[in-house]
Amino acid sequence: MRRPGIQDVGLAVCFVLLAVIAFRPSGVVGGRLREWRAERQVLARYREEWTEAAANRRSVLGEDAAPHVIFEFSDYRCPFCRSSHETVNAWAASGRTRVVLVHMPLSDRSAQAARAAICAEKQGAFARMHDHLMTNDDWEAGEVDWESVAVAADVPAGTRLVRCLNSPATTDRLARDAALADRWRITATPTFVSGRARHVGAASDGDLEKLIDP
């Protein structure tokens, strides 16, 4: 039997060093393990808070009796949110999925749009205002006449909506949505979340299907 030579010992030492480098916290494998553990912690938090979060947020598309629930963290000026809009609407209309929209505005203009959607929701007209904001740009430039936007969106009481925009209750609602995004470590829009997984970015039918498949 051949005795290990200097070359063999050198190779063994190299393999050990490579393994140490890869698995240390700052190494490739160590970094992936850290990311995997963080993702598992976030998913566990989704499951812990799921029922309460779904019950306490009313910017909803679809039927309450739908067997599946997906949260969408969204910004009205986000191009990928807009490109997903028709797909999300179709899923909500199918009766299979209730989509709970969590407002995550990334600019002052988007925050005003989110406030308008919240105020329309209080009149039972969230879906109409949401659709209008996602598919029109009459609110994106200059001084916005939100009463006219409400009329265009078929929200019945435009004056009431304008009074609601900067109310403490609306501000509190936006803060609660922001707090949920922070707890669930949502950092980009759109992000779609189910009780078992999440998808970041524009969503296709296949992407949403993966969120609800057992």
The model's pLDDT over 91-122, given as tens digits with 9 standing for 90+, comes to: 999 999 999 999 999 999 999 999 999 999 99
- C-alpha torsion sign, points 48, 51, 54, 57: negative
The residue that leads in pLDDT, 20 or 210, is 210
Read off the pLDDT of residues 17-57 as tens digits, 9 standing for 90 and up.
555 555 565 655 655 676 656 666 666 766 777 777 777 66
Tokens 């505005």 sit at which residue? Answer: 105
On the question of pLDDT at 171 being above 80, the answer is yes
CATH annotation of 58-212 = 3.40.30.10
- C-alpha torsion sign, points 9, 15, 17, 23: negative
Any idea where the domains of the chain sit in the sequence? 1-56, 58-212
Tokens encoding 70: 């997906």
Pairwise CA distance, residues 99 & 25, whole Å: 38
Which neighbouring-strand residues pair with 102? 73
Pairing assessment for the beta strands 97-103 and 68-74 based on DSSP bridges: parallel
CA distances from 47 to 36, 40, 44, 185, 195 (A): 17, 11, 5, 14, 5
Pairwise CA distance, residues 138 & 121, whole Å: 19
Decide: pTM greater than 0.85: no
Confidence at 165, pLDDT banded by 50, 70, 90: very high
